Amino acid sequence: MDYSRFFSDDVPSFLRSPVREIFRKVDLASIYSFAGGYPDASTFPLAEMEGLTRRVVEKYGARALQYGGTQGVTELREIISRRYDVPLERVQITTSSQQGIDVCARVFLNPGDVVLTTYPAYLGALQSFRAYRAAVHRLPLEDLSTPGQGQGEGPIADGRGRSERSERSSDSGSTVYRRAKLIYIVPDFCNPSGVTMSPEERQALVEFARREDLLIVEDSPYRELRYSGTDIPTIYSLAPERTLHLGSFSKIFAPGFRLGWIIAEPALLEQIFVCKQALDLCPPVFDQYLAAEFMGSGALDRNLKRSISLYRDKRDYMVSLLEKYMPTGVSWTHPDGGLFLWVTLPEGIDTVAMYDSALAAGVAYVAGSFFFPDGSHRNTMRLNFSYLAKERMEAGVHLLAAEINRAVSCSSQHVNSQ
């Protein structure tokens, strides 16, 4: 049967995640995977789960198994409101921060609206923006502090694969996107680059957003995973009137619970509240009570301390392995937190083309070009350092370096034979 006529007009805009495709085909345990954004399973509070579960059953009884409010259970919202020092009415629980991104796209974007973001950009967000047929343009952070600057770089394919050019508004003298509505940004230990925005960049971004009257979606699932350097104020704290701050329990508790939160103006949350009724009625109630007990009892902070120490050690080890094995001409970021670092190979090396042979050799990464809407930067890759057990990291980096070395020597033979 030909099903094509049944699919909606949105379906051709859906973007397939290459990361999820890897997980569909490959047993992660059988390879050295630097591909996904999986936390180290040893950070999951398995030992506490029995006690937590019992406490939820005893304390909340049948309420824990009943439908709950669309905005999330009050106990969890109260804990988040205290932890981040925001009023309760500004806290909405989401069924994962991926849903937080998607619900923002659904509530704020019409087909053809422009989203501004830094490149490389989080793939899950690109998937949501595409699904609602929004156009994505690069936000040149480096230019924002100069009034009149802030134009994107060249045309970027929109949800339908067409090109969209930035437009100039001559009356203000500044360059703006006529249809830009929101900025999407991962300011802390960005997935995929590992880069953190400086206080000056945050301030400039906020001033730009105010000048151009844009909303900001601040997606910060890694904020609590800092291994070095000092905390930098959130963008939300600088511009609470126009920022939606997205948080997640995935990296600080367990991704299997699919829980996150949005902190924003009640007038913005109100439409998200209505939209979420159609999505899932309410976030998972039992999971929310577990998270409330975990967070409220101090177990989250104790666990976080252990996770930070483990991930700091893994980050440092990963960097030392890259230094030991990578050929000259390869460079990488040194993130202060989060789960990823970004590797740049010599020009002409194609990490998409290299991928199958790397996987056949037993090592996985994500090609960097997947994080660019125009598919550029094919000589880059994202490496995760949280998932693989430390004892397996050296063999994995060794294999990856061998693949890169092979690609580099093929590329120089090719150049020499021309």
**CB neighbours of 398 closer than 8 A, spacing ≥ 6?**
321, 325
Decide: is 337 part of the binding site for ligand PLP (CB under 6 A).
no
For residue 313, give both structure tokens.
């050690």
Smaller CB separation from ligand PLP, 98 or 151 = 98
Q: Which of residues 36-55 bind ligand PLP (CB under 6 A)?
A: 37
- For the CB of residue 45, give the shortest distance to ligand PLP in the complex, in Å: 17
Q: Which residue has the tokens 């890169």?
A: 404
35: DSSP letter: S
For residue 166, give both structure tokens.
């930035």
Smaller CB separation from ligand PLP, 151 or 193 = 193
Binding segment toward ligand PLP, per CB under 6 A, in 90-98, 143-151, 174-182, 369-377: 90-98
Q: Which of 93, 131, 186, 272 binds ligand PLP (CB under 6 A)?
A: 186
Decide: is 384 part of the binding site for ligand PLP (CB under 6 A).
no
β partners of residue 66 = none
- For the CB of residue 222, give the shortest distance to ligand PLP in the complex, in Å: 7
Q: Which of 260, 283, 284, 337 binds ligand PLP (CB under 6 A)?
A: 260
Asked whether 401 and 326 are in contact (CB, 8 A), the reply is yes
Q: What's the rounded Cα separation, in Å, for the pair 322 and 345?
A: 12
Binding segment toward ligand PLP, per CB under 6 A, in 72-80, 94-102, 285-293, 314-322: 94-102
Smaller CB separation from ligand PLP, 60 or 253 = 253
- For the CB of residue 284, give the shortest distance to ligand PLP in the complex, in Å: 13
Q: What's the rounded Cα separation, in Å, for the pair 236 and 370?
A: 28
Q: What's the rounded Cα separation, in Å, for the pair 221 and 258?
A: 12
H-helix or E-strand spanning residue 57: helix 46-60
Q: Calculate the CA dihedral of residues 171, 173, 179, 183 and round it to 10 degrees.
A: -140
Q: Which of residues 236-255 bind ligand PLP (CB under 6 A)?
A: 248, 250, 255
User: What residues make contact with ligand PLP under the rule CB under 6 A?
Assistant: 37, 96-98, 122, 124, 186, 191, 219, 221, 248, 250, 255, 260
